[in-house]
Every structure is written in C-alpha cells, then in structure tokens.
Structure 1
Amino acid sequence: MCNSPLSYSLIFSLSLSPRLGRRGVLVVGVGAVGGVGVALHFVRRLVVFLALRCVQAVLVQGIYVTGWTLAGELFPPRWRCRALIAFGMTRPLGVALGAGLGLSVQHWRGITLAAAVPLLVSLSYCWTIPESLRWLLTRGKTKRAREIAQHISARNHRPLPPTFHAHLDHLAAHEYLRVPWGSICTLFCTPRLRRHTIVVLYLW
C-alpha cells in the first residue's frame, strides 16, 4: 500500500533531503516511522489504521532511499558498489527477521509495537551517523565536511592523502556549488526522465 517509488522520491529525495541533509531526513524518518508504529498498536478503527499504514509505507521507503543515498555519498567510487550491495542486503534481512518476530509474538498489535520500539531506541545513537560530505560541499559547509572526513579517517586509522584538503576546497569552489536545487519538476524536465519516471511508477 502506498509503496510507490515516485511518492518517496518526490517527498524525500527531491524535496527534503537536498535541503535538510541526508542525516536529518533519515533521523526524522526513523522517528516518525517508530512513532506511527507505536500509534498502530493502540488504533481501534480500520480507517485510521489504513491511513497510518499508508503514511508509514511512504516514510519507510523514504528512509531506505535516503539511507541509500547517504551510504553512496560516504564511500569512494571503488568501494561504493560494495557498500550499496551491503546496504541493500539489510532489507531482505529485515524481512526475514520480521518473519521470525511474527512467529514469536503472534498477535499483530504486539508485532507493530515490537518493530517500532527498536526504531525509537536507535534515535539515541543517531548522532554517530556522519552527514554526507557531498551534501555539505553543495551547501558551502567546507569546514564541517573537513571535520567529518578527519573523524572518519581517524576512526579507520587511515591518514588522509596530502592533497585531500586542496581537492576538497576545489570541489567546494568550482564543482558542487554549481549543483542546482532539486525539485519535483526534475523528474519531468527532459523526455528521457519523464519516460523513466512513468515506467518506474507503472512497474511498482
């Protein structure tokens, strides 16, 4: 229900994520999905239940796409494919764990609550997720991007290349500041994008 890629692409990828940051949208989405899951546990009316499930479906897809974007932007090109494959494996793993959860809990109200509580708990360590360096550079936040890169380098015990800071300044000054703001119209600005958008919407 409401599992349309167009829905979450318009709301998250093109509207909120470029403006609020990948991590900000991810954290808000996780909190919202967890909150809606807790609310579903206490719902008594079918219409309200269906409406909340529709909202939850859109938010879940937005979390997935935003997390995918963040993972792709944090890793260098030679590691990006592996990182995204590993990220993609989390979804079927979650579905498998959900099946085990359903066998253990049985009642659907307990399942919704058991699935929502870990999401709310994860908000306590959301500060450990680094913001996308690319997003920071497109917004002119070079200093913050440099701090995050140094922190990642220190945690992985890998020194940054000598030319890293100069390269970062070059990207911020000559490349990423030219990136336009995304909007809903981006999906329809060229014939090819319009065709792909319609095809993807139809397939889902």
Structure 2
Amino acid sequence: MTEFGDFISALGEFGLYQKLLVLFLSLPLLLNPFQMIGQVFMVVDVPHHCNTSWIRAIGPNLTEEEQLNLTLPRDAAGAYEQCSMYSPVAWDLSSIMAYGLNATEKCSSGWVYPSAQPPSLLTEFDLVCDRKDLNDISQSVYMVGLLLGAMIFGPLSDRIGRRPIFLISILLQGLFGVGVAFVPHFYVYMAFRCVVGASVSGILITVLALATEWVGVSSRPKAVLISHCFVAIGQMILAGLSYGIRNWRLLQIAGSAPMFALFFYIWVLPESARWLVTKGRIEEAKKVLQKAASINKRTIPPGLLEQLKPEKQIKSGSTLDLFRKKHLRKVTLVMSCAWFADSLVYYGLSLNVTSFGLDIYLTQLAFGAVELPARFCCIFLLQWFGRKKTQAVLLLLSGLMCLVITGIPEDQPVATTVLAIIGKFTATASFSTSYVYSAELFPTVVRQTGVGLCSMSARVAGIMAPLIRLLGQYHRAVPMAIFGSAPVVGGLLCVLLP
C-alpha cells in the first residue's frame, strides 16, 4: 500500500515546483497587513473643534479668532474644547460680546478640521468625540469577518477544493477592498471591511492547505515560515505606502487593487493533488503530479502511478473527540489559551502603533522589520530549546514587556517604543511557535479540528483586542495591563504541556 507521501518524495520534497508554488501563494500575503492594520493610518488624530458658523449670520465680519473666542469654551490648559460649544442664542452680536455665553452643549452641526489636511477616515466620517469609538469597533467588525471566513471557507475548501476557494477569496478581497474606497457611509465601510476580513481568512486557510499538501513533511515548517515572512515584508510596505499616500481613499485603492494583478493564477495555480485523490479524481491527480515532476526534472515511476488509488476517507475526529480523553483535553485547552494570548498581545501592539509617541510610520517600519528575525529565530529556538520551553518563555516575555510599558511615564516615548518592539518580536516568534507546536501535539485524525479550534480562539482574541483599547478612556494603562497579563497566564499554563 503506497502512501501519498511516497509520490511527494518521488517528485521531490521541496523542488523548483514547490518553491514556485509557495512564492505564488505568498504574494497575496504582502497585502494582508494592509487590510489588517492599514486603518490605523487612516484615522490619525488631527486638531478639531465644533462648527460654530451660526454666529456668522449675526456677525459676518468676525475674524476666525473672534468667532472661536465667542463660541467655544476653553479647557484647563487654555486650548479650545474639542467636543463642546456654547449653545447658540437668538441675541444680537453686541449682547453676546458684552455678556458672553454660558450654556454649553455637544457639537450639533459637525466639526471643523485643519483645511490643509488630506481627507482621512477620521475627518470624512467624523470619528471624533462621541463617534470616536467607532474606529475600534470597526476594527472588531473586520476581525469578526476573519472568524466568519474561517467558518465558511474552511469546510468549503474541503468540499469544492483549495484552488477555487483561493481564487474566489482573491477576487473578493480585490473587489471589496477597492469598494471600501468608494463608500458613502461609515456603516457601509464596516460591512465591506467585514467581507474583506472573510476573504483574507479564506486566503490564509487555503495557502496553509496547499503549501502543506504539496510540500514534503521535512520542509513544511520552512514553507509556512516563508509565507509568514511575506506578511512581515507586507508590514514594512504598509509603512511606506501610508507615509507616501495620506488621502485615505487613494491609500485604500493602492492597498487593494494589486490583488487584480494576480488573476493570471487561474492558469498557473494547481489544485492539491492530495485533495484530488481523496475525492477520487485519480486521472486529474496523475496529470498534476506528472506536471510537478517534470518541472522538478524528476520522473515518477509508472509503476508507482498505477498504485494511485482513492484514499479511504479517514473519518476526521469531531470537536467532542478533543475533550473525551484527559490528555487531549489538557492539550486542547492549554493550546487554545496560548493562541488566544498570542493573538491578543500581537494585535494589541499592532493596533496601538499610533499611541507610543514616536513617528508612527517609523514605528510601523520597525514593527514589520522585527518580524523577519522573529520568524527566523523561531526555527533555531525550537531546535535548541525544544517546543515547550520556547513557547512558555516567549509568551512570558511578550506579556512582561506590555506590563512594563504600563509603568513608563508618557514623556518617555523612546523607552515605550523600544519595549513595544521587543514585545512585538516575542509575540511574533511565539505565534510561529504555536503554529508548529500545535500541529505536532494533535494526533492526525483530529489535527485539522484541533488547529481549527485554536485559531478560532485566536480570532476571538482578535475581535476583543480593539474593544479592549476602548478601556483606555478610563485609564491609559488599562489596555496594556490586559494585553500583558493574558500572555503571562498563557505562558505559565504552557508548563502543563508535554
């Protein structure tokens, strides 16, 4: 009885064919960080104040300075209040000047922003004052999209194939990503972002499936890490893009339209031969395998090809199977916690890039640059110290960095940023470790289910991260304290793992 792995060995574990495949699969991942954290650069804070043009009706000749003086209260520092104004009254100008106004109210007729600024999400949809929270909420909506995508496209890619789902996801991300740039309303923006999130999820799932099913076992971690490196390069590209293009609609198009350049994939992207075999489409599988072998300059012995039979569908375990045995239950719960903590601290730091006090574009560049060595170090750390120690120590470190940040005064932006970058490094390495570790911990029958469950918990953390940032309005240290304590708990739980 021949295993499918024998065919992969015959055509080369990681030959030219697989290298090209991994390259093609990784290209769309360059745009992944843009969808993930690009919004942070579209809502950069600008000074704003209430629109008080009502007074122009009775005092058309007032200078701007006089108009603001009469209609806006000042805060403790002597600057104009950003979110309140004096209530309009039906007096003439001389009375207002003589007596002044007392009663204040929230901005009722919109806001005024510096006219020199190119349009940003913040100024166009007024994401200030009472509507400020919509920014973080819309990030959560995007993360909900990621979760939905995993639930929809995961089972679909097992049913109708990896290739169609990959192509559909690319098309969706291109269409809706560009569509976002033309939305008239913020709620439409959120809905479109949700679809983009689902398509990003579809791409991630199929990339993982195609890469692991075409590449020999020994080279799999390499293939996965290469694709992760593309995400890191994408983060650096994001810093450059958002620095160069300040108009949010143009930035959105620049970050989404390149997807359409990939439509030639329809002709070059192969279906997973292993999937074809499990579905009993043997002739197609033979063709794909022979093509792969010819590109790798190998030949599959004809005798071996004859033995290609439909694999008996191994009934994959259900989620319940993960909780039946004591050992598996422990692994599942601890690994889910580890993924949850990884994701929480990773997104917590990534989405916070504008609040560390240094230039946001440089910080983003550093955040991206630090991911490359983090992914590479991960390979060596795993070999030297083993999976368990690496996972536990990295989680603890990333949590500690966040906790230390909470204690640093606001006038030390360099210290905060350096700690955040170290935190990002350890969080990234920890995420990569979890990927490798969990794939090894779960038995084959329930592997897909187990890793699926873990990534679900990571998605839930992703949905929570932007919402936790909202707690910053009570005290600026609260969000960081939460982002820091979760990984510390997760790291301590890792001690229970085999």
What is aligned with 2:431? none
TM-score by length of 1: 0.84
Superposition misfits of 4+ residues, deviation over 6 angstroms: none
Contact 1:105 1:111 in 2 (8 A): yes
Deviates more, 1:160-169 or 1:150-159: 160-169
Deviates more, 1:81-90 or 1:141-150: 81-90
Q: Sort the Cα spacing of 1:201 and 1:30 in 2 relative to 1 into closer, same or farther, 3 A.
A: closer
1:1-204 equivalences under 5 Å are 1=140, 2-3=142-143, 6-14=147-155, 16-161=156-301, 163-169=303-309, 172=310, 176-180=311-315, 186-188=318-320, 190-191=322-323, 192=329, 195=333, 196=336, 197=453, 199-200=457-458, 202-204=460-462
Deviations 1:159-178 (A, max 9, x none): 22455314433xx2xxx332
Tell me the C-alpha RMSD between the 2 structures: 2.4
Q: Distance in 1 between matches of 2:161 and 2:177?
A: 24
Structure 2 letter corresponding to 1:114 = A
**Higher normalized helix content (fraction of residues):** 1
Deviations 1:160-203 (A, max 9, x none): 2455314433xx2xxx33244x8xx9445542498543754554
Q: Distance in 1 between matches of 2:239 and 2:318?
A: 38
Q: Identity over aligned residues, as a percent?
A: 28
Q: Which ranges of structure 2 fall in alignment gaps of 5 or more residues?
A: 1-139, 324-328, 337-452, 463-498
Structure of higher CA gyration radius: 2
- Per-residue deviation at 1:127? 2.1
Contact 2:169 2:203 in 1 (8 A): yes
Q: Distance in 2 between matches of 1:104 and 1:39?
A: 21
- Per-residue deviation at 1:8? 3.0
Q: Distance in 2 between matches of 1:112 and 1:151?
A: 38
What is aligned with 2:363? none
Contact 2:149 2:197 in 1 (8 A): no
Q: Distance in 2 between matches of 1:187 and 1:31?
A: 31
- Per-residue deviation at 1:115? 1.8
- Per-residue deviation at 1:150? 0.6
Q: Sort the Cα spacing of 1:202 and 1:57 in 2 relative to 1 into closer, same or farther, 3 A.
A: closer
Q: Sort the Cα spacing of 1:52 and 1:188 in 2 relative to 1 into closer, same or farther, 3 A.
A: farther
Contact 2:150 2:198 in 1 (8 A): no
- Per-residue deviation at 1:149? 0.7
Q: Sort the Cα spacing of 1:112 and 1:146 in 2 relative to 1 into closer, same or farther, 3 A.
A: same
Contact 1:3 1:61 in 2 (8 A): no
Q: Distance in 2 between matches of 1:133 and 1:70?
A: 9
Q: Distance in 1 between matches of 2:255 and 2:268?
A: 22
What is aligned with 2:93? none
